[in-house]
Amino acid sequence: MRLKLLWVGKTQEAWVRTGIDEYAGRIRRYMPLEILEAREEKGAAAPAMRERECERLAKLLPKGARLVVLDERGESMTSPEFASFLSKSRDQGISDLVFAIGGAYGFTDSFRGQAFKSISLSKMTLTHQMVRVFLLEQIYRGFTIINGEPYHHE
pLDDT tens digit sequence for 103-136: 988 999 999 999 999 999 998 888 889 999 999 9
Nearest to 98 by CA among 146, 53, 62: 62
Q: What residues contact 125, with CB distance under 8 A and at least 6 apart?
A: 72
Q: How many helices (H) and strands (E) does the chain have?
A: 5, 5
pLDDT tens digit sequence for 2-43: 999 999 999 999 999 999 999 999 999 999 999 999 999 988
Which H or E run contains 44? none
C-alpha to C-alpha distance for 44 and 7, rounded to whole angstroms: 19
Whether this model's pTM surpasses 0.85: yes
The phi and psi torsions of 74 (rounded to 5 degrees) equal -75, 180
| Exposure string over 110-145, b if 16+ CB within 10 A, otherwise e | ebbebbeebbbbeeeeeebbebbbbbbbbbbbbbbb
